[in-house]
Chains A and B, each alone.
Chain A
């Protein structure tokens, strides 16, 4: 499947839910969507289009948290990235895709710990990476994190 066919499939399935498509190169696609539609996109790409889930990346941008879900089509060498922008930086949350893709369990737990993003419907939101005595509400990969915050540990 070419990048063009993949775009066509996404457009015909989701229509206006696809906010923006950026073709960085023949092998790299970036598709911006509404955060509310993430489970639909994840299901379509993973189950119907046979894409593999690579990983997700959270980014602390100036006006939002971005979550990038990287999928790849291994028959044509395309990496397609679904971008969801969470505008409310005080209460960032998005639906969990773990019920659809088991392989997303750890990375959602990681983004929860390092960025403070809530994944609604995650089946197993337990600590994964940080120390047991890490202070609550301190998220080390946010841009406003200062290392001294760590020292608040009791």
Chain B
């Protein structure tokens, strides 16, 4: 292929291994990506429409199923929106439980991402470790909520299950065990000269572009924007605990990894503080009716702000329920980060915002002027990415 020739690489859209399948078209000149187009909607389930046909209590369970990974973020945003309409005061203890569940979710989600990123880069040991140490977090979830995913913990005015005293010591013990493992992962990623060479300066999202695209969560924090719903719009128990908002200035893939890894320490610290400070008392309040009106709830999901708008006309179901997940705002930043980079870096750049890239099962290279299409698989894309890491290792004289 000559270097001036433009080709289109469609990636996707089928096989929703994790979350949503998406369809990218990378326009490339040789190895260099010159344009990108994204098409979503392959997993469009009409949840906003469905929610209009459900009662306020039922719609919490519907939004919980938007995503298996953020399955406490959507329900919390949703119940907050309804509580905003009705002006409901949530009991203290329930607020603490909401924060605990949400931080556990952030822990398991970030561990999941570190593993996937490791896999894309050919660091399969990191992948195995990371997912292994994610297990205790899911175990804690199962103990506290009854479920490893889809916790079904939230309700308007509070939470559905209490955290029992015997669970507290169990959670603390598992977190104590987890901490050295995260130290190890942190060392494996942040002190590795190969990863520095591989990820620094790759897929840079500048601060200006992050603002223009209204990027969220670790994606924007890695570009030097210290925005975090937990601190800026305190909800649940976040106004009652101390934590740092982790930021980096560089905006590259490495910075996004640093933000996520350091955030895990903050999550553990928040859970410990919540368990320590959590007062005794009821876990929900009585709710009579939801009056006519409109409400907004937003939370800091692992990937960024999750935003819900709910309107009520006084009946028992919402007239309109708008859901905006964080990836919806982070996705379009690809236009700013992928262009000018090579195809072998595209995988990790697209993965760096933490979408569900595993959806990307199928990949074909199509030359517009060539009727004999070459079809590649997603494994080929990951292989390209892993080969680049190997090349860097060889250059550095590291034998694997």
Is there contact, CB below 8 Å, between A130 and B233? no
Whole-angstrom CA separation of A70 from B48 in the bound complex: 17
Segment of B121-129, B173-181, B316-324, B380-388 in the binding face: B316-324
Q: How large is the interface on A (under 10, 10 to 19, 20 to 34, 35 or more residues)?
A: 20 to 34
B285, CB-defined interface residue at 8 Å: no
Considering the complex of A and B, which 10 residue pairs feature the smallest CB-CB distances, nearest first?
A129-B41, A103-B214, A57-B322, A55-B324, A74-B232, A77-B233, A102-B212, A53-B214, A103-B213, A59-B320
Is there contact, CB below 8 Å, between A57 and B309? yes
Is there contact, CB below 8 Å, between A106 and B232? no
- Pairs A–B under 8 Å by Cβ, sample size 30: A24-B293, A25-B87, A30-B294, A53-B214, A54-B298, A54-B305, A55-B322, A57-B309, A57-B320, A57-B322, A59-B319, A59-B320, A60-B320, A72-B298, A74-B233, A102-B213, A102-B332, A103-B212, A103-B214, A103-B332, A105-B332, A106-B40, A106-B332, A107-B324, A128-B40, A128-B41, A129-B40, A130-B44, A140-B46, A140-B49
B155, CB-defined interface residue at 8 Å: no
A84, CB-defined interface residue at 8 Å: no
Q: Which residue of B lies closest to A53 (CB)?
A: B214
Interface of B is mostly: mixed
Q: Tell me, rounded to whole Å, the shortest Cβ–Cβ distance linking B215 to chain A.
A: 8
A75, CB-defined interface residue at 8 Å: yes
Whole-angstrom CA separation of A28 from B84 in the bound complex: 9
Q: Looking at A57, A60, A106, A141, which has the most chain B CB atoms within 10 Å of its CB?
A: A57
Partner of A27, one of B233, B307, B311, B328: B233
Would you list which residues of chain B between 289 and 320 have a CB under 8 Å from chain A? Answer: 293-296, 298, 305, 307, 309, 311, 319-320
Map CB proximity to B onto A12-40 as digits: 1 under 8 Å, 0 otherwise: 00000000000011011010000000000
B329, CB-defined interface residue at 8 Å: yes
Q: Return chain A residues, CB-CB under 8 Å to B215.
A: 103
B39, CB-defined interface residue at 8 Å: yes
B68, CB-defined interface residue at 8 Å: no
Q: Return chain B residues, CB-CB under 8 Å to A82.
A: none
Whole-angstrom CA separation of A142 from B211 in the bound complex: 32
Q: Which residue of B lies closest to A56 (CB)?
A: B322
B120, CB-defined interface residue at 8 Å: no
Whole-angstrom CA separation of A107 from B40 in the bound complex: 12
B146, CB-defined interface residue at 8 Å: no
Q: Tell me, rounded to whole Å, the shortest Cβ–Cβ distance linking A149 to chain B.
A: 13
Whole-angstrom CA separation of A111 from B294 in the bound complex: 19
Whole-angstrom CA separation of A143 from B227 in the bound complex: 36
B201, CB-defined interface residue at 8 Å: no
Take A103-B329, A106-B328, A140-B46 as given contacts and tell me if A130 and B41 are in contact as well, using a CB distance cutoff of 8 Å: yes
Whole-angstrom CA separation of A101 from B211 in the bound complex: 9
A87, CB-defined interface residue at 8 Å: no
Q: Tell me, rounded to whole Å, the shortest Cβ–Cβ distance linking A95 to chain B.
A: 18
A93, CB-defined interface residue at 8 Å: no
Is there contact, CB below 8 Å, between B39 and A128? yes
5 further contact pairs, Cβ within 8 A, besides A55-B307, A103-B213, A128-B40: A30-B294, A74-B227, A79-B296, A101-B212, A127-B41
Q: Tell me, rounded to whole Å, the shortest Cβ–Cβ distance linking B125 to chain A.
A: 37
Q: Tell me, rounded to whole Å, the shortest Cβ–Cβ distance linking A151 to chain B.
A: 15
Q: Tell me, rounded to whole Å, the shortest Cβ–Cβ distance linking A90 to chain B.
A: 21
Map CB proximity to B onto A136-152 as digits: 1 under 8 Å, 0 otherwise: 00001100000000000
Whole-angstrom CA separation of A24 from B232 in the bound complex: 19
Map CB proximity to B onto A94-137 as digits: 1 under 8 Å, 0 otherwise: 00000001110111000000000000000000011111000000
B279, CB-defined interface residue at 8 Å: no
Would you list which residues of chain A between 52 and 75 have a CB under 8 Å from chain B? Answer: 52-55, 57, 59-60, 68, 70, 72, 74-75
Is there contact, CB below 8 Å, between A70 and B309? yes
Whole-angstrom CA separation of A105 from B328 in the bound complex: 11
Map CB proximity to A onto B29-63 as digits: 1 under 8 Å, 0 otherwise: 00000000001110010101100000000000000
Q: Return chain A residues, CB-CB under 8 Å to B293.
A: 24
Whole-angstrom CA separation of A28 from B311 in the bound complex: 14
Q: Which residue of A lies closest to B209 (CB)?
A: A102
Whole-angstrom CA separation of A75 from B39 in the bound complex: 34
Q: Return chain B residues, CB-CB under 8 Å to A129.
A: 40-41, 44
Whole-angstrom CA separation of A37 from B141 in the bound complex: 49
B368, CB-defined interface residue at 8 Å: no
Q: Return chain B residues, CB-CB under 8 Å to A107.
A: 324, 328
Is there contact, CB below 8 Å, between A77 and B232? yes
Is there contact, CB below 8 Å, between B332 and A59? no
Map CB proximity to A onto B214-233 as digits: 1 under 8 Å, 0 otherwise: 11000000000001000011
Whole-angstrom CA separation of A148 from B291 in the bound complex: 32
Q: Tell me, rounded to whole Å, the shortest Cβ–Cβ distance linking B343 to chain A.
A: 23
Q: Return chain A residues, CB-CB under 8 Å to B39.
A: 127-128
Q: Looking at A25, A74, A75, A101, which has the most chain B CB atoms within 10 Å of its CB?
A: A74
B234, CB-defined interface residue at 8 Å: yes
Q: Which residue of A lies closest to B227 (CB)?
A: A74
Whole-angstrom CA separation of A106 from B329 in the bound complex: 8
Is there contact, CB below 8 Å, between A75 and B232? yes
